[in-house]
Amino acid sequence: MADDTRHFDATATEPSAASDQPPKKFPKGVVLGKDGKPCRTCTSFASWAAQTKEKTKHDADAAHSPAAIATATATPRTLPADCPPDVEQLGRSTWTLLHSIAATYPEQPSRGQQSDLLGFVGLFSRLYPCWVCAEDFRGYIRREVPRVGSRREFSQWLCAAHNDVNRKLGKPEFDCSRWDERWRTGWKDGRCD
């Protein structure tokens, strides 16, 4: 859920068997998967599109065709709704799901519910599609064990986890004292009613 220092810039290389091959270059922001190929769910759409545009431009320059050149310059700025999610869309959707789970978690959960939530958080940290984000989240839950004793405990733990990611991404932190309004009851000004 965080893509901290593992963004690869234009000098990022793809692992290769032959050391005499020149390193493959990727645009800034493209994150490589464990297989050495660009990871769609770990990379923002803008970086992904830049990579595609670079490849298309290279192909167009080689072909010198007007259609290929037009394709190289017609990169959309936003991800179409029917495309696989990029890291940003996946992150926003994930936080919405996690905070919604916290909002409906019991105030006095049974031992079984606590065990289920701990199990879910652990599985989630291993199955999350962005491997860089998943590794980061596993590190966070090793440092800050999920608090599942009540809705309040879990929501505050989750808010702190979300703020940890926000700091790494250079985003503003959320005031966790307003978590209930944002994720559970709606804002006091009534705009959610």
Q: pLDDT tens digits for 84-113?
A: 888 899 999 999 999 999 999 999 999 999
* C-alpha–C-alpha distance, residues 141 and 125, integer Å: 9
Locate 105 and state its tokens: 């978690």
Domain residue spans in the chain?
87-185
Provide the token pair at 99: 């905070």
Residue among 54, 12, 2 nearest 32 (CA) = 12
Least confident interval from 52-56, 62-66, 100-104: 62-66
Taking residues 73-90, report their average pLDDT.
76
What confidence tier does 117 reach under pLDDT thresholds 50, 70, 90? very high
Q: What value does the mean pLDDT take over residues 105-129?
A: 98
Average pLDDT, the chain: 79
| pLDDT at position 40 | 65
- What is the spatial distance between Cα 82 and Cα 148, in angstroms, rounded to a whole number? 36
Please give the backbone phi and psi of residue 38, each rounded to the nearest 5 degrees, phi first: -55, 135
Residue 176: is its pLDDT beyond 80?
A: yes
Phi-psi region of 135 (alpha: psi -120 to 50; beta: other; left: phi over 0): alpha
pTM higher than the cut 0.85:
no
CATH for 87-185 (3.30.360.10, 3.20.20.70, 1.20.120.310, 3.40.50.1240) = 1.20.120.310
